[in-house]
Amino acid sequence: MLVLIALMLVWIPRQVGHVVDGLVARRWTDSQLWMELGALLAAGTAIYFLRVGWRLKLYAAAYRLGVELRERLYARLTLQGAAFYQDRRTGNLMALATNDVDAVEMAAGEALLAGFDGTLTLLLVLGMMSLGVDWRLAACAVLPFPLMALGFWRISRHVHEASRLSLDRFAALNDQVQETLAGVRTVRAIGLQARSEAQFGQLAGGAAQASLDAQRWEAAYEPAVGCTFAAATALVLGAGSWLVWQGELTVGQLTSFSLYLGQLVWPMFAAGWVLSLIERGRAAWARLQPVLDAPPAIEDHGTVATVQPGPLVAEDLTFSYAESARPALAGVSLTLPPGRTLGLVGPTGSGKSTLLRMLLRHYLPQQGRLLWNGVDLQDYTLAALRAAVAWVPQEAFLFSASVAENIALARPQATRAEIEEAARLAAVHDDILRLPRGYDTPVGERGVTLSGGQRQRVAIARALLADAPLLLLDDALSAVDTETETRILGHLREARIGRTVVIASHRLSAVLDADHILVLREGHVAEEGTHAQLAAAHGWYARQWQYQQLQASLDAA
């Protein structure tokens, strides 16, 4: 469609020159003149509909590219682990999915259009000027072009740097907004509003200045085009007038050539526009590509698509974080029969959460193996493994939805009765009923309208409703009082029948009824056994149990 438009656009000036020469020579009859003018009108109408057509096709393709890039970016982000996010800020990643993808989309749509259409128009117009009118005038018209190309080259370098800086500063502004809104309660509580506003103003001013600098350099293309066109027009009119005076060129031919010269404005402007969009797209792609190419934290090479519950076995597990000098886990071994409960206790930083994350395949063991029903966890597909595990982390995360929707996250088809039963088991049903709209109450972003204990219990209800064969509780009762903890543990004893459960906790009362307890210290298994065995062993567990019992007595008093 663009080719047809370009052909008709270069035909129109030739047709106009033909009509002008016919009028000067008085050779047109009324009917012939109307036919010639009708052909021009038909060409103009066809150009209109063809332009609508190419816009629908080309821009739809560019928008599909934008959707695909965002989907690829989102999919890549969901596969990354904690180490990836330690090096990248949330606001910057959000900026990649908005501003940066938009810039690449513009380069693939607008720049492709302008580049193809401008180049095609330039070649056809120069061909018609040289072969259809006069090659000497064509040579005069292109004389200023090398100077314009030199100017464009210098301007484009500045546009690239300014665009890169503009995108970086927008990302920094995004970071500030995201971080401030996420911690708005803390900002208010310690009186940081003025400082936060000042930082925001400074970042907003920097982003605006960077965008203005980029626009200023992009605006430099227009004077370069204007000067080039003015020089070309002066040369053509001077040379053309002399040729007409010498009788080597007709007035109609000079008219056609002048119209062709006017059509060169678009290719010249298109060149500047294309360079601007491409430099913006290059700067955006340079920021996007490292994230899109970043290897997933955990490669999904598993082939076993179904998890059959069985014994959970760890063989000499060893794992170290990149930034830590000592191992988080060192030589940890255990065997947990199906349907049993394992308790993990130990001081802060002893490796409890790390072991749970290895069961989720957030991390891979650097030495040793983890087996479930005799199959290495790495041989399961990630989708199958994580569908078979219900996890309640230390910091319970709730989405901006109703309480019922948050509980039914893993089982959207669950009935209201099933949701309420899970809430009862998690000892949060009565709290939910006291909310303004009960189970239909929106909890706000990150569950901001609920207390810490309520969020934990909603997360426990979500895990129980999922009915997965393996339940992992990572200090999931830390924000509830001991009375509520006792109720939840009592309900869990009923709900976990036939289900393998691993409970990591600082409170020893949470693992009191566990079938087996591991005491981890500095990544090693320091003690293991049942509660009765450990309480009688006079080790860390016994001392900690006595201390917590004494503290509970003092609190009760």
List the Cα angle 486/490/493 in 5-degree steps.
140
pLDDT tens-digit readout, 190-246? 777 788 888 888 888 888 888 888 888 877 777 877 787 778 778 777 777 777 777
**End-to-end distance of the chain based on CA atoms, in angstroms?**
86
Exposure of 554 by Cβ count < 10 A (0-12 exposed, 13-18 middle, 19+ buried)?
A: exposed
**Residue 199 has which token pair?**
């930082």
Most confident of 41-55, 79-93, 505-519: 505-519
The domains found in the chain, sorted by start residue, are 2-293 (1.20.1560.10), 309-388+504-557 (3.40.50.300)
65: Cα within 13 Å, side-chain hemisphere:
18
- Please tell me the predicted confidence (pLDDT) of residue 81: 75
Q: Are 334 and 295 in contact (CB under 8 A)?
A: no
- Strand pairing category for 312-319 and 389-392: unpaired
Q: Which residue has the higher pLDDT, 86 or 510?
A: 510
| pLDDT score for 118 | 78
Q: What angle do CA 413, 418, 423 make, to 5 degrees?
A: 120
SS3 343: strand
Asked if the model's pLDDT at residue 517 lies above 90, the reply is yes
User: Across 101-110, 175-184, 211-220, 438-447, which has the greatest mean pLDDT?
Assistant: 101-110
C-alpha closest to that of 227 among 289, 113, 147: 147
Sheet of strand 312-319, all strands in order from the earlier edge strand to the far edge? 329-336, 312-319, 367-372, 375-376
CB 468 within 8 A of CB 388: yes
For residue 345, what pLDDT is reported?
92
- Backbone CA torsion sign across 341, 342, 343, 348: negative
For residue range 366-415, list pLDDT tens digits in order.
899 999 998 999 899 988 888 899 888 888 888 888 899 999 988 889 89
Does residue 183 have a pLDDT over 80?
no
Q: Read off the pLDDT of residues 17-28 as tens digits, 9 standing for 90 and up.
A: 777 777 777 777
Which residues sit opposite 376 in a β-bridge?
371
Q: How far apart are CA 542 and CA 278, in angstroms?
A: 68
Q: Which two structure tokens, joined as six digits, stand for 407? A: 């509980």
C-alpha–C-alpha distance, residues 432 and 414, integer Å = 17
Helices 193-219 and 265-293, packing angle to 10 deg? 140
**Which pLDDT band holds residue 109 (cuts at 50, 70, 90)?**
confident
In whole angstroms, give the CA distance from residue 392 to residue 502: 11
Q: How far is CA 272 from CA 96, 149, 266, in A?
A: 25, 10, 10
Mapping DSSP to helix (H, G, I), strand (E, B) and coil, where does residue 345 land? strand
Q: Which residues of 169-193 are buried (b: 16+ CB within 10 A; e: fewer)?
A: bbbbbbbbebbbeeeeeebeeeebe
* pLDDT at residue number 232: 78
Q: What is the DSSP letter of 308?
A: P
The 10s digit of each residue's pLDDT in 461-494 is: 998 888 889 999 988 877 777 778 888 888 877 7
Tokens 């049903």, located at residue: 429
What separation in angstroms does the CA of 69 have from each of 61, 101, 102, 476? 12, 7, 10, 37
* Amino acid of residue 307: V
Q: Which helix (DSSP H) or strand (DSSP E) does residue 158 occupy?
A: helix 145-182
